[in-house]
Amino acid sequence: GENVEQHPSTLSVQEGDSAVIKCTYSDSASNYFPWYKQELGKRPQLIIDIRSNVGEKKDQRIAVTLNKTAKHFSLHITETQPEDSAVYFCAANGNQFYFGTGTSLTVIP
């Protein structure tokens, strides 16, 4: 089955700086890669996703890039704000969804 690895597990940045979270996957058949944000005690919520037929997708301060050859995809958050502090999960679809282990992002005011 699919194996999704996510790095780093924790990340601290100054407000206004950029944050990058990286994930790798193993199944070349995976074709959908979502990113979820989970605030403490809350449900994960989709913030951006990308399909395998595109290499990059952007939504305001958030962007995701996908390298199918290398089997990795990354989340980029620019101009970080304190409300970006949360745990972020990547995922890839196989016959089910496979999630990374999460990155706890702290934005320091």
The site for other proteins (CB under 8 A) is made up of 6, 32, 34, 36, 41-46, 49, 89, 91, 93, 96-97, 99-102, 104
Give me the least distance between CB of 26 and other proteins, in Å please.
15
Pick 78 or 99: Cβ nearer other proteins: 99
Report the residue number, 47 or 107, with the smaller CB distance to other proteins.
Answer: 47
Residue with smaller CB distance to other proteins, 44 or 80: 44
Minimum CB distance to other proteins, residue 101 (Å)? 4
Question: Where do we find the tokens 């990155």?
Answer: 103
Nearby residues of 29 by Cβ (< 8 Å), 6 or more positions away: 94
Maximum separation of any 2 CA atoms in the chain, in Å: 41
Q: What is the DSSP letter of 72?
A: E
**Based on CB atoms, which residue is closest to other proteins, 46 or 108?**
46
Q: Contact at 8 Å (CB) between 100 and 5? A: yes
Could you tell me the smallest distance in angstroms from the CB atom of residue 99 to other proteins?
Answer: 4
Comparing CA positions, the residue from 73, 81, 70, 71 lying closest to residue 105 is 81
